[in-house]
Amino acid sequence: MFRAARRKARGGRKRVNLALQGGGAHGAFTWGVLDALLEDGRLEFEAISGTSAGAMNAAITASGLCKGGAEGARAALRAFWRDVAVDGHIPDAARGVVELMLTPWKLGAAARQNLLDATRNVFSPYELNPLDINPLRSVVEGHIDFAALREHEGPQLFIAATSVRSGKIRVFTRPETTADVLMASAALPFLFRAVDIDGEPYWDGGFMGNPALFPFFTNTDVEDVVLVQINPIERDEVPESAVDIMERVNEITFNGPLLNEFRAIEFVARLIEAGALSGSRYKSIRMHRIEDQSRLDDFGAASKLKANWAFFAKLHEIGRDAAFRFLDEHFDAIGERGTLDLRAAIDPMPANGGKG
């Protein structure tokens, strides 16, 4: 409480757009970030964009805010992550499914190997999961009043999913948000069937937007975007095992759309600075990032941890630390300048300049 009071005393409220990456169980890191930002109270969320686990966090946050303000959102997030843990309130018959879903890349060699075997043998979710069990649905439906979410005022929502037929992104807004939309945003193709919405099948939104940033540019007048990033863009080591190679391929695939948006933002900023877009509808976006990859890397390929409450609580703690550190270092810059170096983020040369 003392830390929050001290931070509030340092400055007034500032409006930002929040962008929440997906990343399975590592979404509990994002829960920690949100918990800290809501406790601190100096950032007002104009809009939240989320994909997969980021979409869950976004919708739970918006739902909690409309019912009980910041403290309501904090309580809603904690309750959701407590119930979604494999030692939470998920029915016994569904625990194996949710464990696979939450740990496709980062949290346990056995689960990752099962997924690898499934893809190698050309199994599909129509064979592996013939009853189309998605234990997250019941948890989500139990924690979000979707009718109230769509009707109440609050931060805009932008939830990304990928059209199976066209391969294009679809961004669902707050008035469109349903349990089906959240399930679609998190529908990993080798684990779950495509989710049908208005006759169109959708897969995980991370293929085309993890998370989508472009809705901020035309739907809000806020120029500061705070990205909560849980998937590493760069890694020093070269993967050699089949599982590690699959992990890195997934990281690259799901970061690709984000890097493309970084390039677009940086390009527009340079044009504006040069006066080439004077009087246009384009605006210069100030990007910020909250992450702690050095600590998240501790739960990499060798980890045997599962998606249980103790693990979620640890990620929550790491996320809170990262958020408070970001506020200490960069709060004053919000509204003034970006704190994420986009040129460095998109530079094609490796961090060591190609040496080594």
Task: Compute the distance between CA of residue 17 and CA of residue 45 in angstroms, rounded to an integer.
Answer: 6
Q: What are phi and psi for residue 90, nearest 5 degrees? A: -75, 135
Q: What angle (nearest 5°) sits at the alpha carbon of residue 346, between those of residues 56 and 236?
A: 85
Q: What is the pLDDT of residue 117?
A: 52
SS3 for 255? Answer: helix
Cis peptide before 104 (omega within 30 of 0): no
- Phi-psi category of 132—alpha, beta or left, where left has phi over 0 and alpha has psi -120 to 50? left
- Dihedral (C-alpha) 203, 205, 209, 210: value to the nearest 10 degrees? -130
Angle (deg, nearest 10), helices 135-143 and 53-84: 90
State whether the Cα torsion 97-102-108-113 is positive or negative. positive
| Number of Cβ atoms within 10 Å of the Cβ of 179 | 17
Q: What is the pLDDT of residue 114?
A: 53
Q: Which two tokens stand for residue 141?
A: 């439906």
User: What is the DSSP annotation of 53-106?
Assistant: HHHHHHHHHHHHHHHHHHHHHHHHHHHHHHHHSTTTTS-GGGHHHHHHHH-SSS
Q: What angle (nearest 5°) sits at the alpha carbon of residue 55, between those of residues 301 and 142?
A: 105
Q: What is the pLDDT of residue 289?
A: 97
Task: Compute the distance between CA of residue 206 and CA of residue 252 in angstroms, rounded to an integer.
Answer: 11
Q: What is the mean pLDDT of each run of 10 residues along the chain (356 residues)?
A: 48 92 89 98 98 95 95 97 77 53 42 48 55 74 92 94 96 96 90 91 92 94 96 82 78 84 88 76 90 82 57 95 98 97 80 46
State pTM to two decimals.
0.85
Q: What is the pLDDT of residue 301?
A: 38
Q: Which two tokens stand for residue 193?
A: 């069937």
- Dihedral (C-alpha) 34, 39, 43, 44: value to the nearest 10 degrees? 80
Q: What is the pLDDT of residue 5?
A: 46
CB 192 within 8 A of CB 102: no
Note the helical H segments in the chain. 2-8, 27-40, 53-84, 95-102, 109-120, 125-128, 135-143, 146-151, 179-185, 214-219, 242-273, 293-296, 309-330, 342-346
Q: What is the pLDDT of residue 306?
A: 54
Q: What is the pLDDT of residue 316?
A: 97
